[in-house]
């Protein structure tokens, strides 16, 4: 490789990038391959973003986001800090079908959603006030490309048991496209172990999330259980 040559691509780098989102690549990908799924227009995304900001419970030098899945290890936006947080009344679950990003229409993959009930430990990500709306626009191009999530401000508790702020979280919409109401464990494990799409495999998503949580000292027994089963599957991409 000469000095002028670009570096080779990193095979371990996430394929969902800030550049892809800013260029509209994710929306274009869905519209091209899944024409039956309605992609939100720029105006609809903007209205959703402004509605979320209008409900902002705290004002200061930035906001918190609550990350429970891939935002932990691939936020795609600029953050200024991170800490462990717990939200009550919600739990992470593989309840969202992905027939493109991490699967195919014939073998849809699965990604995490935040579903009612229980509690959830994850990462509170701090986004600075300067440039806030631009960073949230990048986030909306990722999470609100279709109407699969409902943005909510959730109270977040720190290690001392006190609420330190409210984080913007993308919770599941039970009536949204791709929502899986109930999945048998065997079907969940098979799909996580074998599904692969334009943005990588469902197994990669699972194991990166699992590793990201462990790096923060967070243990999710259900995720540990699923990871163990997927790792034992013959075709698992670990």
Helix (H, G, I), strand (E, B) or coil at 32: helix
Active-site residues: which are they? 143
Helix (H, G, I), strand (E, B) or coil at 219: coil
Taking alpha carbons only, the member of 141, 180, 159 closest to residue 41 is 141
Residues of 71-80 as b/e, b for ≥16 C-beta within 10 angstroms?
Answer: bbbbbbbebe
Q: Hunting for tokens 């197994």 — which residue is that?
A: 203
CA angle 94, 53, 65 (to 5 degrees): 40
Listed as own residue / partner, the contacts of 178-183 with beta carbons closer than 8 Å and 24 or more positions apart are 178/96, 178/97, 178/98, 178/99, 178/146, 178/148, 179/95, 179/96, 179/97, 179/113, 179/148, 180/94, 180/95, 180/96, 180/97, 180/110, 181/95, 183/94, 183/95, 183/110
Distances (CA, A) of 33 to 38, 56, 85, 195, 197: 12, 35, 37, 16, 11
Contacts of 50 (CB under 8 A, 6+ apart): none
């Amino acid at each position: 490789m000469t000095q002028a040559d670009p570096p080779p691509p990193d095979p371990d780098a996430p394929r969902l990038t800030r550049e892809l989102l800013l260029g509209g690549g994710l929306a274009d990908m869905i519209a091209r391959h899944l024409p039956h799924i309605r992609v939100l227009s720029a105006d609809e995304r903007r209205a959703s973003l402004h509605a979320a900001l209008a409900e902002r419970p705290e004002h200061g030098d930035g906001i918190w986001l609550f990350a429970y899945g891939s935002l932990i290890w691939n936020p795609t936006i600029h953050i200024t800090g991170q800490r462990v947080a717990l939200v009550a009344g919600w739990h992470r679950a593989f309840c969202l079908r992905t027939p493109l990003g991490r699967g195919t229409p014939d073998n849809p993959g699965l990604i995490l959603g935040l579903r009612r009930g229980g509690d959830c430990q994850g990462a509170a990500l701090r986004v600075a006030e300067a440039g806030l709306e631009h960073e949230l626009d990048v986030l909306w191009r990722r999470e609100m490309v279709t109407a699969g999530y409902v943005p909510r401000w959730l109270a977040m508790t720190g290690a001392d048991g006190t609420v330190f702020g409210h984080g913007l979280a993308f919770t599941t919409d039970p009536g949204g496209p791709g929502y899986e109401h109930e999945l048998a464990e065997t079907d969940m494990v098979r799909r996580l172990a074998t599904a692969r799409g334009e943005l990588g495999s469902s197994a990669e998503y699972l194991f990166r999330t699992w590793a990201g949580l462990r790096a923060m000292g967070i243990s999710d027994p259900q995720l540990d259980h699923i990871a163990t089963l997927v790792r034992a599957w013959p075709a698992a991409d670990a």
